[in-house]
Amino acid sequence: MSEPSLPKTYDSSSVERRWYSCWEEKGYFSPSNHHADLPNYCIMIPPPNVTGSLHMGHAFQDTIMDALIRRRRMQGGQVLWQTGTDHAGIATQMLVERQLEALGTNRHDLGRDAFLERVWTWKRHSGGTIVRQLRRLGASCDWSRERFTMNPDLSFAVREAFVRLYNEGLIYRGKRLVNWDPVLQTAVSDLEVVSEEENGFLWHLRYPLANGSGFLIVATTRPETMLGDTAVAVHPQDERYLHLVGQEVILPLTGRRIPILADEYVDPLFGSGCVKITPAHDFNDYEVGQRHHLPQINIFTPDAHIASNAPEPYQGLDRVAARKRIVADLEQAGLLDKVEPHRLMIPRGDRSKAILEPYLTDQWFVKVAPLAEDAIRVVEEGRIRFIPANWDKTYFEWMRNIQDWCISRQIWWGHRIPVWYGPDGHQFVCNCEEKVYELAAEHYGYEVELIQDPDVLDTWFSSALWPFATLGWPKQTPDLAAFYPTDLLVTGFDIIFFWVARMIMMGLKFMGDVPFKEVYITGLVRDGEGNKMSKSKGNILDPLDIIDGIDLEALVAKRTMDMMQPHLAKKIESATRKEFPQGISPFGTDALRFTMASLATQGRDVKLDMGRVEGNRNFCNKLWNAARFVLVNTESELCGAHEGERSVLALPDRWILSRLQRVITTLDGAFDRYRFDEVATIVYHFVWGEFCDWYLEWVKPILYGTTIPETEKQVTRRVMLETLETALRLLHPLMPFITEELWQKVAPLVGRGQETIMRASWPRLDESLLDPEAEMEAEFVMRTVTAIRTMRSEMEIPPAKRLPLLAMGEEIFRLQRHETLVMTLARLESWQPLTGEIPQEAITAVLPGLQLFIPLAGVIDLTAESARLEKAIARLDADLARVMGKLANPGFLANAKPDLVATEQAKEHDLREKRLGLVEAAARLQKMKN
RNA sequence: GGGCGGAUAGCUCAGCCGGGAGAGCAUCGGUUUUACAAGCCGAGGGUCACAGGUUCGAUCCCUGUUCCGCCCACCA
């Protein structure tokens, strides 16, 4: 045995940094056909926000993607994990605007160009954070092809897509009621609205009838919009009001006369049954207005103050003040009937959290219905498959009710809409600014000044092109030919509409094919209590803090820094101190990744369990030490010829090789079904529960046995190495760093030394190594050893004490055959077949075909032993009752499968035999005591 | 209002095309046995939410109920 060449514990930090930079420098992440001619494989990363930072959701999804990519790379074929970042229009602009605010200025003071320069500076400054963090996760994406959604080539793709859709009439400009964010002062799409129920009021207002015969009472949650009312509506069948339809009311505070009309939209049972109609400020009223050709009166300025077309006293008031004033004025005029508390849905911007206004503006839209048709069909036909499958319901539901997509944003950071207006307002649409002037000159017959549309496109417009724009589209590049359609998309359910659906539509439109064949939908990563992680809750965990560790004070500081609501800081601090009293230990990337995989069960959110991370850190250490053991026993020894000589394999070798084959098979199955939890469990159990717990222990008597021939030792050394080396390859997709580190030392000893485990081949089943007989024999040994250990433990015999063993039964020949293994692991002093009488004073265990006795006269606590036996008998009785009940049931015998009946019968036999043995043992003890 | 998911050991979760209930962590007991105390050995712990139905047999299939979560939706 040589000196250990590895330290006693695995130190993740030094290993990780070393290997990642090595991999990247050597270009191992780029596609290369280093094995067989397998089909190409490609995954597009969901591009993270360029100014963002890594969160648990990334760690989760990127682990899954990287595991799949690494496995495919080992299997062979050209493998590309396309990476990059997204400019995230509104989010990034808000971030920079907040910085400006802190400096006491704003984007309007700066002007558009200077502002954009500032955003670019910020992007250059912070844009590296997330990609550095991705590297820390071990993500093997191809950095040489990294893209940013505002790179010139991607911007060109965006303009090209816009032009093509425009020319087909699938993009149009129009004045519509849109969701308007008065704080950001931009339109947003329907998807960017989050509505939540909040407390409000229902105001009942009196609108005087024009003929002076009384009032009509209308109920509203937004009294301030009454300034823009252009009608009052009732239900067509509502007896109460039918006679008034066609008449007019006088709109209070304005004096305008507006009609009373009948429309199905009105629910006669709600409120008073009369609805004020404000077409410019409510989506339903807008529809009603369209049906009845009502005028649209916009009473708000873009920042939601009352506009100058409203009565003078209200002009310039913001929404809240206007409401107060109007309600007060109505009350004073005796026009306020009553006010009731009311729960209602308040729409807010998902970024700004500001209350949105339905607002009448000119915007650009994509006409989606024609695109949606094909996008629905490809999922129906199975050309795109969701995993788990039930997400297709969500997809269909949205796609079948899809509304036109508002793509223009009144912000500055983003892709400028490639439309220019001539002096007469004529639209020129072009993918290139130089060319547009030629177009205009051609159109007018002379050169003109053009003004480009000031708006930018919704970020998701460029994201929708990601799967092909990153590969070179609209140019027909080799990459595009090689990797489109991509194979798999891994993403969260929260962006199925935002992103997945739109990629499908755009991919089909521009590439004529699906952008990916499968979509693996992950759940959300939640904290230990199951809460959504958010900055304001202060329960965010930075994946890097789990990898590198963080002390409590730093964690508290991190969680309470830069808070939007500073009053929550105290609560967050105490919760953090309670949850992580010691801070977080450095667990390493591999442990985090392994945990992510093991939590990745289908169709569920995952709660991050730090205990699990710790357990997997321990698993890394276990693997490390197993390798240490193997290396110590092989590095300066002879380790047999290639493949070993199978004819002389010892039982442990035959067993572990056979088990390894089964692991390869089940692991492949789990990978193919995207069951990463199973992948983790299978390999964890094999390495720890079989390789370490049994095999390495069994191997010791062979390696250290003085009577074992050297040739046999060499074979075992060889098998030990081969098994470990294969296990490292199997583990590599989930634990890239530790496996590389160990593989570099282990692989050369079996002649597999190459540059990197990343390009080693993925293990394949070798059927010739399957050995059911060896598995049976090994199970016998394990059963026997465990039985003896249990006796020892239950009878409180010190583990160090070497025990004598007597045995009888028809399986005794197996015991004979594997006596060294059993004796070593059960720490026996001796064993022999029982020939004479069963010793009265002995501990007894009964196994199928084998009775074991540990005769220890004078040492055994007889009372304890008989209690132990009674308990075991009681248990057997319960099992026996169940089996016998089943076998006594004619229905069971008639209907159950024959082999099941046979199994049950065998079970009954075993149970009876076991019971008999124990009952006899109990009787002997009883005799002793008397 | 519509749709989806969940309820299994103290905790976090697997399992179930119907036939002996599993893992990790936690707990308890033993243990410095020559890779590993981040270890080793052993043990305890569950009317599989509730009520019906189908079946020889249900944690699993069907129906209903309760509770929890999410998504979508125009009730002023």
Q: How long is the CA A41 to C1' B24 vector, in angstroms?
A: 33
Confidence of residue A642 (pLDDT cuts 50, 70, 90): low
A474 has a pLDDT exceeding 80: yes
| Closest to A20 measured CA to CA, from A745, A760, A743, A741 | A741
Nucleotide nearest to A496 (CA to C1'): B71
Residues 6+ apart with CB under 8 A from A891: none
Q: How long is the CA A446 to C1' B74 vector, in angstroms?
A: 50
SS3 A4: coil
The pLDDT > 90 percentage for chain A reads: 63
| Distance from C-alpha of A216 to C-alpha of A448, rounded to nearest angstrom | 57
Q: Provide the 10 A C-beta neighbour count for residue A14.
A: 11
- Give the model's pLDDT for residue A888: 87
SS3 A450: coil
SS3 A881: helix
DSSP assignment string, A35-102: SS-PPPEEEE--PPBTT----HHHHHHHHHHHHHHHHHHHH-S-EEEE-EEB--HHHHHHHHHHHHHH
Alpha-carbon radius of gyration of chain A: 37
Q: Provide the 10 A C-beta neighbour count for residue A60.
A: 26
Confidence of residue A361 (pLDDT cuts 50, 70, 90): very high
- Give the model's pLDDT for residue A528: 78
Q: How long is the CA A624 to C1' B23 vector, in angstroms?
A: 22
A337 touches strand B (CB under 7 A): no
- Give the model's pLDDT for residue A36: 62
A706 touches strand B (CB under 7 A): no
- Give the model's pLDDT for residue A867: 84
A345 touches strand B (CB under 7 A): yes
A153 has a pLDDT exceeding 80: yes
Handedness of CA A652, A658, A661, A663 (dihedral sign): negative
| Distance from C-alpha of A286 to C-alpha of A852, rounded to nearest angstrom | 87
Report CA A637 to chain centroid distance, whole Å: 46
Helix, strand and coil content of chain A, in percent to the nearest 5, comes to 50, 15, 35
Q: What is the pLDDT of residues A872-920, one digit of tens each?
A: 888 888 888 888 888 888 888 888 888 888 888 888 888 898 899 999 9
Residues 728-787 of A with CB under 7 A from strand B: 785-786
A842 has a pLDDT exceeding 90: no
Q: How long is the CA A907 to C1' B21 vector, in angstroms?
A: 18
Report whether A610 contacts A583 (CB < 8 A).
no
| Averaged pLDDT for residues A160-164 | 97
A101 touches strand B (CB under 7 A): no
Q: What is the pLDDT of residues A682-697, one digit of tens each?
A: 999 999 999 999 999 9
- A356 half-sphere exposure, CB direction, 13 A CA radius: 30
- A78 half-sphere exposure, CB direction, 13 A CA radius: 12
Q: What is the pLDDT of residues A25-68, one digit of tens each?
A: 999 999 986 666 688 999 999 999 998 888 999 999 999 999 99
Whether the upstream peptide bond of residue A485 has omega within 30° of 0, thus cis, is yes
List chain B nucleotides near protein: any atom < 7 Å from a Cβ. Answer: 2-6, 11-15, 19-20, 23-26, 29-43, 55-57, 69-76
The residue that minimises its CA distance to C1' of B23 is A681
Beta A41-44 vs A79-82: how paired, if at all? parallel
Between CA A54 and CA A60, with CA A55 as vertex, the angle to 5 degrees is 105
Report whether A805 contacts A845 (CB < 8 A).
no
A373 touches strand B (CB under 7 A): no
Nucleotide nearest to A276 (CA to C1'): B76
Q: How long is the CA A737 to C1' B59 vector, in angstroms?
A: 40
Q: How long is the CA A822 to C1' B30 vector, in angstroms?
A: 20
Q: How long is the CA A907 to C1' B20 vector, in angstroms?
A: 9
Worst-scoring range by mean pLDDT, A206-220, A263-277, A557-571, A744-758? A557-571
User: What is the dihedral angle through the alpha carbons of A688, A689, A692, A696, rounded to the nearest 10 degrees?
Assistant: -160
Q: How long is the CA A604 to C1' B66 vector, in angstroms?
A: 22
End-to-end CA distance of chain A: 55
A895 touches strand B (CB under 7 A): yes
Task: Write out A549-607 in H/E/C secondary structure.
Answer: CECHHHHHHHHHCCCCCHHHHHHHHHHHHHHCCCCECCCCHHHHHHHHHHHCCCCCCEE
A393 touches strand B (CB under 7 A): yes
Residues 244-283 of A with CB under 7 A from strand B: 265-276, 282-283
A350 touches strand B (CB under 7 A): no
| Averaged pLDDT for residues A800-821 | 91
A401 touches strand B (CB under 7 A): yes
A906 touches strand B (CB under 7 A): no
| Averaged pLDDT for residues A694-702 | 93
A634 touches strand B (CB under 7 A): no
Residue with the two structure tokens 């220019």:
A420
A201 touches strand B (CB under 7 A): no
| Averaged pLDDT for residues A630-640 | 81
Nucleotide nearest to A588 (CA to C1'): B38
Q: Provide the 10 A C-beta neighbour count for residue A123.
A: 19
User: What is the dihedral angle through the alpha carbons of A543, A544, A546, A552, rounded to the nearest 10 degrees?
Assistant: -110
| Distance from C-alpha of A432 to C-alpha of A450, rounded to nearest angstrom | 13
SS3 A904: helix
- A454 half-sphere exposure, CB direction, 13 A CA radius: 7
Identify the helix (H) or strand (E) that includes residue A451: strand A451-452
Q: Provide the 10 A C-beta neighbour count for residue A688.
A: 15
**What's the mean per-residue pLDDT of chain A?**
90
Q: How long is the CA A141 to C1' B70 vector, in angstroms?
A: 32
Identify the helix (H) or strand (E) that includes residue A713: helix A710-731
Residues 6+ apart with CB under 8 A from A94: A184, A351, A352
Residue with the two structure tokens 């010793």:
A839
Amino acid identity for residue A260 in this structure: I
pTM of the model: 0.93
A453 touches strand B (CB under 7 A): no
Residues 477-516 of A with CB under 7 A from strand B: 493-494, 497
A421 touches strand B (CB under 7 A): no
Beta A215-220 vs A193-208: how paired, if at all? antiparallel
The residue that minimises its CA distance to C1' of B22 is A681
Q: What is the pLDDT of residues A544-584, one digit of tens each?
A: 999 999 999 999 998 888 777 777 888 888 888 888 888 99
Q: Which two tokens stand for residue A659?
A: 């088990």
A2 has a pLDDT exceeding 80: no
Q: How long is the CA A665 to C1' B13 vector, in angstroms?
A: 24
Q: How long is the CA A814 to C1' B23 vector, in angstroms?
A: 31
Q: How long is the CA A184 to C1' B34 vector, in angstroms?
A: 71
| Averaged pLDDT for residues A130-153 | 95
A891 touches strand B (CB under 7 A): yes
Confidence of residue A1 (pLDDT cuts 50, 70, 90): very low
Whether the upstream peptide bond of residue A474 has omega within 30° of 0, thus cis, is yes
| Distance from C-alpha of A821 to C-alpha of A827, rounded to nearest angstrom | 10
A411 has a pLDDT exceeding 90: yes
| Averaged pLDDT for residues A180-199 | 90
Q: What is the pLDDT of residues A767-785, one digit of tens each?
A: 999 999 999 999 999 999 9
- Name the DSSP class of A688: I
